[in-house]
A and B are shown apart, each in its own frame.
Chain A
């Protein structure tokens, strides 16, 4: 036994070293590039929130900070305070490395579940190199935090299953669940699944009624509190309780009881009941025939996670209703699928098992190919960074740059003051007012101020208004930047699924007037004009 453990530990250490080197190399690669940036557009918003509110103590809209997903913000602040590493470096390099250690949490969870070092180690690798997980790992945003806590919660659940009277483990699990529910809406879903399974454990197998009642109550309270303050969870609830018509923009007003929707609603619930019941029955059958190694309730959270994931990501959209951003659930689908996969794989003879596991690893690694170019997943696309080189070389970093909301993250990388970059979608002649409005709302916190040039007739007069409104030093040169590649690389959701859709349009004739505008830079990906005041 001890020898097996030693071999297992050696494998773990070797694997962890390879993993750490790989991830550090990727992170350092982006750090060494001349233009450092985040791998996700969301991180810019989170960076702003941490920097402005928690570090500089500025008054900003605290809704998101307090009621939505505060844990990442606080963790970043803590590590910044304790180590003095800048928030930018933390969010870009340090946190992805820290989060990649979640490999160990998965190892711990699978080992508690399967009691097998090899299976546990394989499972941990399989989870972490899953396409969606790999994709999330490099993007410092609140949902990654929930992915890191998720295996810990499942580990504590397994531990508590085996020692149901341990109040210490129960307290730890509740603390972890509280933390998980503060990370992301799907974290709340995982919490409720785990609490539900725990309540079943206390009710049926352990016969501890007071614990069952308290855990049941806790899950309901947790759900109601989160529901009251989180619109995304409300949309999930709407999906489960009634029909959510994706074509309507308002979540609550968008409920439409058509025949198709009603049928799909009923079908959804029946499918869930049959699927969950079926899996439980199958597992029970294995258990009673003496072949099962894991009790039903121990694997049940993974089954439920897998089924909820399947429903939200695929079944909902196919039937015509879905929660917003359903791909966020893909990673939980994967977390639920891996234990199930391992559960069935370990029944195979040893040789076939090893081949199967190698095959599974190769397949999951193959998925990474799609996401290999990590930087393209962020906000910097094509040859956009060339304009930064131009700006730096021509020593115009102290100028004012007017650009669209989607191009803002590109210019934040410049070694100039943040308020030198001004967002003005209207200046470019937005083609879709509704989209522009949502973008404006989303970026209000990011840009701190949005300029509307409603009364301006020309781009030149709009710029003059902007200079006056923002109290910009009129002696500073003004540049206008427009990214052509950005417009067609945003993923947007419609009732049929994902497709490419332009978020920012532009009427580039606005800048044709050579009296006011001079094209300084154009590489077919990004254009830069200089504004020339007439007087």
Chain B
């Protein structure tokens, strides 16, 4: 399956775009908000760069650890399942932290 063949269909292009944006950026972006919910903690430029870095680092780390511990294979479904689950968890963490910061202020 080559890159050129994959680009032949609209579905493939959409999948490619979503995959790139989500896998390389959005995944880490949700982590940065969970960790640093306030803008003054991490400026926008830094946040974007770190989002890319976290996508690059934590994504394979989590999938590797789950593969060697609970034998969850990095199949198509496995990768999407783990990624989406962690993203949902980070969003929940962000909401909780944001709420607590709001109450504190």
Residues of chain A whose beta carbon lies under 8 Å from any beta carbon of chain B: 9, 12, 54, 57, 66, 70-72, 74-75, 77-79, 81-86, 88-89, 98, 101, 104-105, 107-108, 148-149, 152, 168-169, 171-172, 175-176, 178-179, 182
Question: Which chain B residues border A79 with CB–CB below 8 Å?
Answer: 19, 23-24
A89 to chain B, nearest CB (A): 5
- Contact at B67–A74, with CB atoms within 8 Å? yes
Question: Which chain B residues border A178 with CB–CB below 8 Å?
Answer: 61
Question: How many angstroms between the C-alpha atoms of A83 and B57 in the bound complex?
Answer: 18
Q: Does B63 contact A (CB under 8 A)?
A: yes
Chain B 14-26 per-residue mask, 1 if CB under 8 angstroms from chain A, else 0: 0110111011100
- Contact at A74–B49, with CB atoms within 8 Å? no
- Contact at B57–A176, with CB atoms within 8 Å? yes
Q: Does B92 contact A (CB under 8 A)?
A: no
Beta-carbon nearest neighbor of B1 in chain A: A86
Given A78-B79, A101-B52, A168-B36, CB of A84 within 8 Å of CB of B12: yes
A89 CB contact (under 8 Å) in B3, B18, B46, B64:
B3
Question: How many angstroms between the C-alpha atoms of A390 and B45 in the bound complex?
Answer: 52
Question: Which chain A residues border B46 with CB–CB below 8 Å?
Answer: 108
- Contact at B79–A77, with CB atoms within 8 Å? yes
Q: Does B76 contact A (CB under 8 A)?
A: yes
Given A57-B73, A71-B61, A179-B61, CB of A84 within 8 Å of CB of B56: no
Q: Does B87 contact A (CB under 8 A)?
A: no
- Contact at A82–B19, with CB atoms within 8 Å? yes
Beta-carbon nearest neighbor of B53 in chain A: A152
Q: Does B95 contact A (CB under 8 A)?
A: no
Given A82-B23, A83-B23, CB of A75 within 8 Å of CB of B75: no
- Contact at B3–A85, with CB atoms within 8 Å? yes
Question: Which chain B residues border A83 with CB–CB below 8 Å?
Answer: 15-16, 19-20, 23
B23 CB contact (under 8 Å) in A78, A101, A149:
A78
Report, as a range, how many residues of chain B touch the other chain: 35 or more
A437 to chain B, nearest CB (A): 31
Known: A85-B6, A105-B53, A168-B35. 9 other contacts (CB 8 A): A70-B60, A75-B59, A78-B23, A82-B18, A83-B15, A84-B1, A148-B53, A175-B57, A175-B61
Question: How many angstroms between the C-alpha atoms of A105 and B53 in the bound complex?
Answer: 8
- Contact at A179–B60, with CB atoms within 8 Å? yes
Residues of chain B whose beta carbon lies under 8 Å from any beta carbon of chain A: 1-3, 6, 12, 15-16, 18-20, 22-24, 35-36, 45-46, 49-50, 52-53, 56-61, 63-64, 67-68, 73-76, 79-80, 83
- Contact at A81–B76, with CB atoms within 8 Å? yes
Question: How many angstroms between the C-alpha atoms of A108 and B46 in the bound complex?
Answer: 7
A78 CB contact (under 8 Å) in B1, B6, B12, B74:
B74
B34 to chain A, nearest CB (A): 9
Question: How many angstroms between the C-alpha atoms of A85 and B64 in the bound complex?
Answer: 20
Say what secondary structure dominates the interface of chain A: helix
Residue among B1, B46, B57, B80 having the largest count of chain A Cβ atoms under 10 Å = B57
- Contact at A148–B1, with CB atoms within 8 Å? no
A74 CB contact (under 8 Å) in B12, B45, B60, B76:
B60
Question: Which chain A residues border B2 with CB–CB below 8 Å?
Answer: 86, 88-89
- Contact at B52–A104, with CB atoms within 8 Å? yes
Can you report 24 residue pairs joining A to B where beta carbons are below 8 Å apart? A71-B64, A72-B60, A74-B63, A74-B64, A75-B60, A77-B79, A78-B59, A78-B63, A78-B74, A79-B19, A79-B23, A81-B74, A81-B79, A82-B23, A82-B80, A83-B16, A86-B3, A89-B2, A98-B56, A105-B49, A169-B35, A175-B57, A175-B58, A175-B61
- Contact at B6–A84, with CB atoms within 8 Å? yes
Question: Which chain B residues border A105 with CB–CB below 8 Å?
Answer: 49, 53
- Contact at B79–A82, with CB atoms within 8 Å? yes
B24 CB contact (under 8 Å) in A77, A81, A98, A172:
A98
- Contact at A179–B58, with CB atoms within 8 Å? yes
Question: Which chain B residues border A82 with CB–CB below 8 Å?
Answer: 18-20, 22-23, 79-80, 83
- Contact at A54–B74, with CB atoms within 8 Å? yes
Question: Which chain B residues border A71 with CB–CB below 8 Å?
Answer: 60-61, 64
Closest 3 CB pairs of A and B: A82-B19, A83-B19, A82-B23
Question: How many angstroms between the C-alpha atoms of A54 and B83 in the bound complex?
Answer: 17
Given A84-B1, A89-B3, CB of A74 within 8 Å of CB of B57: no
B35 to chain A, nearest CB (A): 5
- Contact at A84–B19, with CB atoms within 8 Å? yes
Given A84-B15, A86-B2, A98-B24, CB of A182 within 8 Å of CB of B64: yes
B45 to chain A, nearest CB (A): 7
A129 to chain B, nearest CB (A): 19
Question: Which chain B residues border A108 with CB–CB below 8 Å?
Answer: 46, 49-50
Question: How many angstroms between the C-alpha atoms of A9 and B49 in the bound complex?
Answer: 13
Given A74-B64, A82-B23, CB of A179 within 8 Å of CB of B3: no
B81 to chain A, nearest CB (A): 11
A128 to chain B, nearest CB (A): 14
A9 CB contact (under 8 Å) in B24, B45, B56, B61:
B45
- Contact at A172–B35, with CB atoms within 8 Å? yes
Question: Which chain B residues border A57 with CB–CB below 8 Å?
Answer: 73
A478 to chain B, nearest CB (A): 29
